[in-house]
Amino acid sequence: MSDFRISRRTMLAGSALLLASTAMPTIGWAQTPKKGGRLDVAADSEPRNLNPAIVASNGVFFISSKIVETLAEASFDGKDGLDPRLAVNWEGATDGLSVTFKLREGVKWHDGKPFTSADVAFSALQIWKPLQNLGRTVFKDLEAVDTPDELTAVFKFTKPTPFQLIRNALPALSSVVPKHVYETGKIEDNPANNAPVGTGPFKFADYKPGQYYRLEKNADYWGKDQPYLDEIVYQVLPDRTSAASALEAEEIQLAAFSAVPLADLDRISKVPGLKVITKGYEGLTYQLVVEINHRRKELADLKVRQAIAHAIDKDFVVKRVFLGYAATATGPVPKNDPQFYTADVPTYAFDVARANALLDEAGYKKNDDGKRFSLRLLPAPYFNETKQFGDYLRQALAAIGIDAQLVNNDSAAHIKAVYTDHAFDLAVGPPVFRGDPAISTTILMQSGIPDGVPFSNQGGYKNDDLDALIAKASETLDTAARTELYKQFQKKVAEDLPLINIAEWSFISVARDTVRNIADNPRWAVSSWADTWIEG
């Protein structure tokens, strides 16, 4: 896995990794991986575009990360939390204007052509920067990619860009697709978007709409002896109860991304031969937040926002809504983030009396009917848990005299109501923390974002100090200084409550206990599965 590591800078980590990666299969199992077999997996959606270079989303990665590889993958023990993939080494210039990637030698595309730096340059400039949902932000200042030789790609930026941000973006944003497949015609209309060609351990084999996707082993894969599996079949199971039944009936061996609802986990964990796995999603943390429309006079008052924060029993939410499969949140960076998290922020203990007192102080006295004012509350419909938390929040607010009217929409209507029409007072949302606050977290508080941008500050919140802090962090090159700025950012957010962070959760996998080497990196479900194998 790490045999091409050459840099002195990363030598130590590299050898540690080498050790870890060769030792991994034997730890705990004391078995050598068995080759062959077909892994049947539950899939709950059929992405309209399978090209992860264009659509960097978990739904797409779940399938295509086995076919198309990124420059680096997230790792539990690698340096900076990374493990090399198509790049074996990366180094940022001190002026923040360039990053140099050394690429892996001897890698071939699934169609047999060699993988070179031209492919990386093409993917970055023609796809990540102009077309990719996340890349459009992170690579906005990318000006050119120089390719001095076939195995070197030098990213050039017009403005100093923190190397830390680029590093943190690699696992999700750096899918490399072949230039020779995409250079003719419109990239968005390329048939390879639905039948991807990559360098990964598995090749795209076939897709039957409404039924399955099938991937087959890439015999020319660069990883030694990898992959172990012959085939991966994703069975499309649209019903929420199907995955659990299919696991029990042994029609599938793995259901990732909490395809088995939390309420079923207790029962399913007792089924012989099945195991519930909570590891392997550390890099995909979802945050349960209360989004606030600051255009509402009452909500523009910090005391009211503090009162709402005090009215919510986060422990109860974790215990009852998430059945324990979550953690309470203190601020906009999740506790499990190894780089940025700080616990040194103002906290809001569950205290109804204090909440009531704050509302009284703010001048919103209770009327004769015990109510202070009414609000529209829009829980996002994407997860059971966001809907259930909406029900809880309504009751929690009733206890402090705020009458919340629940407005339930389907996904499209919710997105429109909250992020375009601003037709909400409070909303419950699940933003994703993607390993660096600059990728998709700061836009939740930053001002000046056009209407209609989803998962961004559409609540009309504007705080010049916070804006300045976010701007400064985005151009601070020194990793330690940058990290410190994001610690201040967390403090400021917890202080001023542009939104209220309630809990953090990841997904759960349920698998047959014969499936080995699962959950061995922080983005396992969306990684390559090159080392996954089936026993027996």
Partner 1 sequence: MTRALTLLRRRLVGSIFVLLIVVIGTFLLLEAAPGDAVDAYIVSTGGDAGMIELLRHRWGLDQTELTRLANYLWALLHLDLGQSVTFSRPIRDVILERLPNTLLLMGSATVLSFGLGSALGIYAGARPGGFRDRLLSIGSLALHAVPGFWLGLVLIIVFAVDLRWLPIGGIETLVSAKTGLERAADIARHLVLPVSALGFIYLALYLRMMRAGMAEVWRQDFVLAARAKGLSRRRIVLHHVARNALLPLVTMLGLQSVQMLGGSVVIESVFSVPGLGRLAQEAVAARDTPLLLGIILTSAVLVVVINLLVDIAYALLDPRVGASEAGA
Q: Does 57 bind partner 1 (CB under 8 A)?
A: yes
- Give, as ranges, the residues between 302 and 331 that touch partner 1 (CB under 8 A): none
Q: Does 263 bind partner 1 (CB under 8 A)?
A: no
Nearer to partner 1, 183 or 206 (CB): 206
Contact range with partner 1 by CB under 8 A, out of 1-9, 50-58, 162-170, 307-315: 50-58
Nearer to partner 1, 174 or 199 (CB): 174
Place of tokens 């790792």: 75
Nearest distance from residue 266's CB to partner 1, in Å?
17
Nearest distance from residue 230's CB to partner 1, in Å?
12
Q: How far apart are CA 330 and CA 26, in angstroms?
A: 38
Which of 315, 452, 513, 514 touches partner 1 (CB under 8 A)?
Answer: 452
- Angle, helices 384-398 vs 302-311, to 10°: value is 110
Place of tokens 């976010």: 470
Contact range with partner 1 by CB under 8 A, out of 23-31, 89-97, 119-127, 204-212: 204-212
Nearer to partner 1, 376 or 416 (CB): 416
Token pair listed for 91: 């180094």
Residues touching partner 1, count (CB under 8 A): 56
Nearest distance from residue 133's CB to partner 1, in Å?
4
Q: Does 137 bind partner 1 (CB under 8 A)?
A: yes
Q: Does 265 bind partner 1 (CB under 8 A)?
A: no
- Give, as ranges, the residues between 363 and 382 that touch partner 1 (CB under 8 A): 382
Nearer to partner 1, 37 or 223 (CB): 37
Nearer to partner 1, 111 or 421 (CB): 421
Q: Does 32 bind partner 1 (CB under 8 A)?
A: no
Sheet holding 87-92, edge to edge: 87-92, 98-103, 152-157, 142-149
Token pair listed for 528: 């390559």
Q: Does 510 bind partner 1 (CB under 8 A)?
A: no
Which segments within 271-337 are labelled E, that is strand?
Answer: 274-277, 285-292, 327-328
Q: How far apart are CA 296 and CA 426, in angstroms?
A: 10
Q: Does 194 bind partner 1 (CB under 8 A)?
A: yes
What's the 3-state SS for 414-483?
A: HHHHHHHCCCCCEEEECCEECCCHHHHCHHHCCCCCCCCCCCCCCCCCCCHHHHHHHHHHHHCCCHHHHH
Nearest distance from residue 456's CB to partner 1, in Å?
8
Token pair listed for 76: 């539990």
Q: What is the widest separation between alpha-carbon atoms in the chain?
A: 77
Whether the Cβ atoms of residue 381 and residue 391 lie closer than 8 Å to each other: no
Q: How far apart are CA 190 and CA 184, in angstroms?
A: 9
Polymer length in residues for the chain: 536
Which residues contact partner 1 (rule: CB under 8 A)?
A: 45, 47-49, 55-59, 131, 133-134, 136-137, 188, 193-194, 208-212, 214, 231, 233, 235-239, 241-242, 245-246, 248-249, 251, 382, 409-417, 420-421, 440, 449-450, 452-455
